[in-house]
Amino acid sequence: MSPIIKTDGLSHIYSAGTVFEQAAIKDINVEINRGEFVGVIGHTGSGKSTLIQHFNGLLKPTSGKIFVEGEDIWEKPREIRRFRFKVGLVFQYPEYQLFEDTVYKDIAFGPTNMGLAEEEVDKRVREAAAFVELKPELLEKSPFELSGGQKRRAAIAGVIAMNPEVLILDEPTAGLDPRGRDRILGEIKEYHEQRSNTVLLVSHNMEDIARYAAKVMVLNQSRVFMYDTVESVFSRARELQEMGLSVPQVTKICLRLAQAGVEISPQTYTIKSAKARIIELLGRKRPNEAE
């Protein structure tokens, strides 16, 4: 199967040709397959935001190419909008982009720009609102009357309503409380499973990445440092820590336990699997104790 997004030697230099010249991303070659859930990590300034803004053509590469469904998106710059509907991008703090007088109209902004018929727009708005668990009666309210978490979910619905092939979310849980965070991530996972669309999740939270993503892209100093399965990325804990990143807490605990001689694999990334292994180990010990 051909990759949904492919980049070929992608580089972006800000303020090219001046003294302030600075490469934000350098020579990026990645292939993202259809239906994958990819976590994107990297410390601040590693080029994550610049990279994801290339995937839907908001930024034009200084050199290199981006292919969406095998098409070079900058071949016809006039048609760039087509790719923005295919690759939906939810920015950080997306609630600051709400502007319409009702939540319904705001969610409908994207689908309407796509030129869809009114019934289709209506269908998509209601579906998207259902995905982010916004009650139908909230749709007629002003977006400025909603709570912080509701605003965030309404803004995400605005992108989901375009039904993009790829959904990219830049730290969708920043500034939310733990419950709001789990809720939004749960909804995104459900969306991913039901629509089997591709999802890219930018996050600083290694637990969230381990829990939801199948593959992880690590950016460091403007380059892709690793792009592999969650298991193989988090098994390189030392390298990640050297570049100022981390591994999930539970992985750290299992590493320490393994060092202390406990028979537990340091390649444990979720609390669920750690719990299962610990219960297994405890179960094995009890008969010995009974002797």
Q: Which residues bind other proteins (CB under 8 A)?
A: 53, 56, 58, 81, 84-85, 88-89, 91, 94, 96-99, 109-110, 113-114, 144, 158-159, 162
Question: Alpha-carbon distance 111 to 181, whole Å?
Answer: 26
Helix axes 148-160, 118-131, angle to 10 degrees: 130
Report, in Å, the least distance between residue 182 CB and other proteins: 25
Which two three-digit tokens encode residue 74?
């900058």
Report, in Å, the least distance between residue 184 CB and other proteins: 17
Sort strands 37-41 and 215-220 into parallel, antiparallel or unpaired: parallel
Which CB sits closer to other proteins, 89 or 213?
Answer: 89
Which amino acid would we find at residue 14? Answer: Y
Which CB sits closer to other proteins, 98 or 247?
Answer: 98
Which CB sits closer to other proteins, 91 or 234?
Answer: 91
Report, in Å, the least distance between residue 97 CB and other proteins: 4
Which CB sits closer to other proteins, 57 or 248?
Answer: 57
Question: Alpha-carbon distance 213 to 80, whole Å?
Answer: 29
Report, in Å, the least distance between residue 37 CB and other proteins: 20
Which CB sits closer to other proteins, 85 or 227?
Answer: 85
Report, in Å, the least distance between residue 109 CB and other proteins: 6
Question: Alpha-carbon distance 9 to 109, whole Å?
Answer: 34
Q: Half-sphere exposure of residue 36, counting CA atoms within 13 Å on the CB side? A: 21
Which DSSP letter does residue 164 get? Answer: -
Question: Alpha-carbon distance 99 to 154, whole Å?
Answer: 11
